[in-house]
Structures are given as C-alpha cells and as structure tokens.
C-alpha cells in the first residue's frame, strides 16, 4: 500500500512561567563534554547487535547518581561478555572515585541505583546458576538477580528475581536478555525491576514476556505486591520504561508485538492506557523504546511533582484493523512512514496520560492523531531517551538520525549513514526552541538529573556507524575509557557555572526544507 506522508498538528498548551524560563532552548554552550574522563579497569565492548537484524546499538552503560548528588556509579559489562563492573565516579569531574566492584558472572548491566553517603549501590543483572542447581533453566541460561552493595564494596544482599522458586505457580522464568531497568523509591524503600523473561516451565514455556518485581530495600526480600508485581505481563515485550513513584506500583510502559505501546502502571500487562498504535510483527515493535540494550531513560518524573514525560519513536499508524488473536479493543496498524519519528507524551500522574489515548476504532484511517510529534520528516530516528531538568517543568529528549534510511525489515530498525544526534527541550507538551545537533556525542547510558539541575549521561567517544550490520560473531571494538556529556538550560545557574569553566565550540544556525536546528560542530 502507499503510505500517507502527513502528520496531525497537535495544539500545545503551555504555561507561561515554564516557557519563559526555558524559552531560549539550547545552544552549543548548553552542552559540556568530558571526553574519556573515566578510565576503566577492564575493557568494554560498546556495540551491541540487534536481534534478527544485527544492526548496531549502543551497549548500555547504566549510570546513577545519589539523591544528594554526592555519589555516582557507572556499570558496564566486561568485554569478555561475563562479569559486570561497577565503577565509583566523581559526579563533578566524571573521573574515577575509587576501585570498581566486580559482580562475577553477570551477563548484562541491566540497571543501577546509587544511594546517599555510605549507602553504596544496587545493580540489576542476570547470571547463570551453578551446575547442578535444582530446577535451573537449561544450557546455563541466565536468570535475573538484584545485587545490593555498600560503599565499602561489601555485599549487603542478593535477591533472585527469576529462576527456581520464583513465581513457581505460574511457571519458572529466565532472562537471556534483561533489556529492562531498575529504580528505587526512598519514600517506599522499594526497588522496582522491570525486565524481559522467557518461561521454561508451565503453560508459557518457550514464550517471551516480561516481569515486574519489587524488593524490600531494607533486607532484600522479594515481595509479592497485589496490583504491582507481575510474573508475566506484555507478551513478546519489545521495550520497557520504568520510573519510581512514592508507592507501588511504579510508573511503567511496555511496547509489545501485538500493535501498541501501553501505559500499564495499574495493569502490568497489555492493557491500561494505549499511548500509541504501532505496526508490529512477531517479536518486534519497531524498536519504539530502543530495542536491544535500549530500555532505559524513556520515562522521567518531573522533580517536585507527580507528572512524568515519556519519549519513543514511531512510524505512525494508519488503517486500523482488529487484532484477531486478542479480540475487541486490540488493533493492528500499517505504517504511516517508512522511517521512524520521535514523539513524546505527558503523564499527569503515574497512571494517567495527559491528553487522548490512541484509537482502538477498527476501520479508522488514522491511528496516530493523538501523537505529539517532535520530528515529522522522512529520516529514520532511533535511540530516543528523555530526562527531566531540575526546574520541575522542562525535559530533554535525545535521539539519533539517519537522513536517508534503508528500512528493509518490518517493524525493526533501519540502516544508513549516521547524520547526527539531536537534543530537544520540551515543556508542558511543547517543543522549546530548536534541537541541538552534534555528531560526536551520543546517549549510551542513563540520562540522570544532577543535584544542580543539569542532565548528564555516559557515552563512548567513537565514530558512530549505522550503515551496516555488526559482523557475524559480534563487534570486536573495545574501549578503556568512558566519556560523559552534560546539558544545561542556558538561563540556569549550572549553565552559567559550566560556561565559565569550559570553552564551548561555536554554534551555527542551520535550516533546510524540513527542520531547523543549532549545530554545535
């Protein structure tokens, strides 16, 4: 079919105070880079291939800063593919602040929480069980586990979130790929973990879904919280977003392979509020939330409020038909565009979408009229992430662009020459100013709100190539250093302090037929 190439124009409602505060948007002086500032004690492989397509993704390096801003950690998978290293980081200089803790046997750095003072950190990872363990999954398939360490590097507790004995009534589950996240609520003293699972016993054996688990922060007890915990939620989960709340359930979003992205805080499954209709296929949903190694920093809580901001990529949706397998209320859709565009949504609370949800009307020609688009062109955009600035009103959305994409797979990623990473301020449902474009700074780990209101994140300084699949057997590229980038609102105190302490590159205004942005190169 011929795809329609138009987008709905969504009216934006903006409060005067927040828009005035951030009205000038971003300039090159908003971005500060700390290139190769953190020396690693072990080598790290920064490229992770996507399943099925083999296209390159950034291998996530979880980054966390304590609430008081005094302590930071970065987690990364050893280049060997086994062992996760957790490195203390100075949150001012982004250099080493001590010796790394190695979590032996870890297969994925799946989420990280930093605590104040001597509180240390918590890590979500997955690991194979010892040989001979009763009811273990076959072939040393890893299971999800939460580790809690003190600042002295001593293990406080270890809690399995899957495998033998966990949700045995439903069926036991493993996590060959977590592709999830870990968050913590100080108000509830709860860790929340959301991750992909595959069942190896029970009715769902051989199938993929997801699980939301809660762990007592005081003693590491795995809790079963009615209306919050879930052994099996979105079937064939293709993307996860999780953010802490004052009490369980925490705010959550899932992308699935049946046709939608759901705000599922209250349901933990493929129901709740439909944020977006998506064209999907078995096991794939367009990598809406980043695909492999991408389920982080997609949902951010605005400081001092109960509101959240969510970001994703989408090909749009037209020609809704009934999903015959799931039945009434569930739909399939065709693409509106070949490449993916960036969108964001405001949440009034952890359970409430601000604005209309996506249509479930069978026969509707347009299934994306509710979407608040950031981009609307023919480029392919991927790796979308969002974090909140400290002002309590503004957020930063980041993504990567291929201007002339080749999209050869249904509901998966695209390839082509990488043409830039973009950073856009949003507030109250509207874009603020023009996006900042760079070609040497990417998002490859958690975007974190710092104590001074900036947003900082880790990346690897490298030539980023999206033109071809990763060679068979995986990438052989490694690094021994991690870089950090920080973004400030130009009229904030942090922006003025960073501008006086660093020499920014010059900015050039650029415009073409479809967009206008600030180029920092």
Q: What is the pLDDT of residue 496?
A: 39
Enumerate the domain spans of the chain: 17-519
The mean pLDDT of 216-232, rounded to a whole number, is 98
pLDDT of residue 491: 60
CB distance 312 to 288 below 8 Å: yes
Q: Is the pLDDT of residue 8 over 90?
A: no
State pLDDT tens for residues 85-110. Answer: 999 999 999 999 999 999 999 999 99
Mean pLDDT along residues 418-422:
99
% of residues, the chain, pLDDT over 70: 89
Q: For 500-509, what is each residue's pLDDT tens digit?
A: 443 333 222 2
Closest among 166, 328, 331, 187 to 250, alpha carbons compared: 187
- Give the pLDDT confidence score for residue 116 in this predicted structure: 96
Mean per-residue pLDDT for 47-53?
95
- Report pLDDT for 6: 35
Residue 463: is its pLDDT beyond 60? yes
Whether the predicted pLDDT of 517 surpasses 90: no
Half-sphere exposure of 408 (CA within 13 A, CB side): 10
DSSP structure class, residue 16:
H
Say how far apart CA 277 and CA 316 lie, in whole Å. Answer: 7
d(CA 445, CA 385): 10
3-state secondary structure 170-186: CCCEECCCCCCEEEEEC
**251-265 residue pLDDT tens:** 999 999 999 999 999
Q: In this prediction, what percent of the chain has a pLDDT beyond 90?
A: 88
pLDDT at 235: 85
Q: How far apart are CA 253 and CA 296, in angstroms?
A: 11
* Average pLDDT over the chain, rounded to an integer: 91
pLDDT confidence bin for 168, thresholds 50/70/90? very high
351/298 Cα distance (integer angstroms): 16
Residue 182 has pLDDT above 70, yes or no: yes
3-state secondary structure of 348: strand
CB 84 within 8 A of CB 76: yes
Q: Mean per-residue pLDDT for 467-490?
A: 96
pLDDT above 70: residue 20: no
Q: What confidence score (pLDDT) does residue 92 get?
A: 98
Q: What pLDDT score was predicted for residue 170? A: 93
Question: What average pLDDT score do residues 446-457 get?
Answer: 98
pLDDT for residue 14 is more than 90: no
Contact 189, 217 (CB under 8 A): yes
pTM: 0.91
Q: Considering Cα of 343, then 349, then 354, then 357, what sign does the dihedral take?
A: positive
At the topology level, CATH places domain 17-519 in Methylamine Dehydrogenase; Chain H (2.130.10)
Q: Using CA atoms in the order 481, 482, 485, 486, what is the torsion angle rounded to 10 degrees?
A: -110
Using alpha carbons, select from 193, 413, 438, 436 the residue that is nearest to residue 296.
193
Confidence class of residue 1 from pLDDT cuts 50, 70 and 90? very low
312-368, pLDDT tens digit by residue?
999 999 999 999 999 998 999 999 999 999 999 999 999 999 999 999 999 999 999
């Amino acid at each position: 079919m011929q795809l329609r190439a138009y987008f709905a124009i969504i009216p934006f409602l903006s409060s005067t105070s927040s828009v005035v505060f951030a009205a000038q948007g971003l300039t090159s002086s908003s971005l500060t880079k700390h290139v190769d500032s953190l020396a690693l004690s072990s080598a790290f492989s920064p490229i992770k291939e996507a399943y099925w397509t083999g296209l390159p993704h950034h291998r996530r390096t979880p980054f966390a800063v304590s609430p008081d801003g005094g302590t930071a950690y970065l987690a990364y998978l050893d280049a060997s593919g086994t062992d996760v290293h957790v490195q203390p980081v100075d949150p001012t200089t982004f250099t080493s602040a001590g010796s790394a803790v190695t979590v032996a046997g870890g297969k994925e750095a799946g989420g990280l929480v930093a605590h104040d003072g001597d509180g240390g950190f918590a890590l979500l990872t997955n690991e194979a069980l010892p040989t001979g363990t009763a009811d273990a999954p076959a072939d040393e398939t890893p299971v999800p586990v939460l580790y809690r360490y003190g600042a002295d590097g001593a293990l406080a507790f270890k809690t399995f979130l899957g495998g033998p004995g966990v949700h045995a009534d439903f069926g036991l589950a493993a996590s060959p790929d977590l592709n999830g996240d870990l968050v913590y609520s100080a108000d509830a003293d709860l860790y929340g973990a959301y991750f992909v699972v595959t069942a190896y016993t029970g009715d769902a054996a051989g199938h993929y879904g997801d699980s939301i688990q809660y762990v007592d922060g005081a003693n590491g007890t795995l809790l079963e919280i009615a209306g919050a915990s879930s052994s099996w939620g979105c079937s064939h989960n293709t993307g996860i977003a999780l953010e802490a709340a004052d009490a369980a359930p925490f705010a959550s979003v899932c992308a699935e392979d049946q046709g939608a992205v759901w705000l599922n805080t209250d349901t933990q499954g493929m129901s709740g509020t439909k944020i977006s209709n998506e064209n999907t296929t078995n096991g794939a949903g367009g990598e809406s939330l980043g695909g492999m190694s991408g389920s982080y920093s997609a949902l951010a809580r605005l400081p001092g409020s109960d509101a959240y901001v969510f970001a994703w990529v989408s090909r749009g949706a037209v020609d809704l038909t009934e999903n015959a397998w799931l039945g009434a209320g569930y739909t399939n859709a065709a693409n509106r565009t070949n490449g993916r565009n960036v969108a964001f949504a405001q949440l009034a609370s952890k359970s409430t979408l601000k604005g209309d949800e996506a249509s479930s009307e069978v026969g509707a020609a347009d299934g994306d009229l509710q979407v608040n688009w950031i981009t609307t062109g023919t480029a392919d955009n991927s790796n979308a992430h969002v974090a909140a600035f400290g002002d309590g009103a503004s957020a930063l959305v980041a993504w990567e662009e291929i201007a002339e994409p080749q999209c050869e797979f249904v509901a998966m990623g695209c390839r082509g020459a990488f043409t830039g990473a973009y950073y856009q301020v949003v507030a109250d449902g509207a874009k603020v100013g023009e996006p900042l474009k760079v070609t040497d700074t990417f998002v490859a780990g958690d975007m974190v709100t710092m104590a001074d209101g900036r947003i900082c994140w880790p990346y690897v300084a490298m030539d980023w190539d999206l033109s071809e699949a990763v060679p068979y057997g995986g990438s052989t590229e490694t690094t021994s250093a991690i870089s950090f980038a920080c973004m400030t609102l130009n009229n904030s105190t942090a922006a003025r302090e960073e501008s006086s302490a660093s020499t920014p590159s010059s900015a050039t205004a650029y415009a073409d037929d479809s967009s206008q942005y600030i180029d920092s190169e």
